[in-house]
Amino acid sequence: MTSARPRPGADALAVLARVRANRPAPAARERCEMCGEEIGEQHPHVVDLVGRGLLCACRPCALLFTAEAAEQRYRAVPDRYLAVPGLALSAGQWDELEIPVGLAFFFTNSVEHRTVAFYPGPAGATESELPLGAWDRMVAADPVLARMAPDVEALIVRMPDRNGAGTAAHVVPIDRCYELAGALRLAWRGFDGGSEARALLDAFFADLADRSTRAAEGAAP
């Protein structure tokens, strides 16, 4: 009995089917967490004031939450970058804040009616309890800090190391602070972060310097 001969191209079709089956599924495009529309890699964020989460948003949805005085659960993160060269903290003043590393960001939590501090490390962003009156003294040293938008803008401060030239301080969109904390968590090595973390910090603050206006030029939100 004669065996059935394979159809021409059958082997090629079988190989193609195996290739398709093993091909990784295309990565899902990011979507707005407010309306579900597809969004690009660069997109606005919205802060959930109650859950303290960052939501990815399309521009139309983000624009719905830009009114600062409105009583809303969500607030859009602005895109203001402001250098604060007048904030010169001594090592003693920094020690008074009880932050164990030379980097932290501060923002006002409007739900809890207080200013909080976070510092990065191998576990991500860690909250630090500010001593009573510490933030008020920082605002007194540079009143531009009193004009930061609650919840969505933060003061990020990097203290100099032994070879540093001075304090670097900027008012920035708060999503950049969490972005930095996430990147440092992956790069952190040892007690002080290591050379990779320091290089990452150098690049991050160089980018802030390029984006920022000086406080005297851009004090209004």
The runs of H, that is alpha helices, within 4-71 are: 10-22, 59-63
- Look at residue 108 and give its three-state secondary structure: strand
pTM here? Answer: 0.79
Percent of the chain whose pLDDT exceeds 70: 80
- What is the pLDDT, as a whole number, of residue 11? 53
CB 215 within 8 A of CB 84: yes
What backbone phi and psi angles, to 5 degrees, belong to 20? -65, -40
CB 163 within 8 A of CB 102: no
Pick from 24-28, 31-35, 188-192: least confident: 24-28
Higher pLDDT residue, 51 or 19? Answer: 51
Higher pLDDT residue, 83 or 125? Answer: 83
Rounded average pLDDT over 156-178:
84
Strand partners, 118: 105, 127
Over residues 68-109, the pLDDT tens digits come to 766 788 999 999 999 998 787 888 888 888 888 889 999 999
Rounded average pLDDT over 45-62:
91
- What is the pLDDT, as a whole number, of residue 69? 65
Query: Does the pLDDT value for residue 8 go beyond 60?
Result: no
Higher pLDDT residue, 145 or 188? Answer: 145
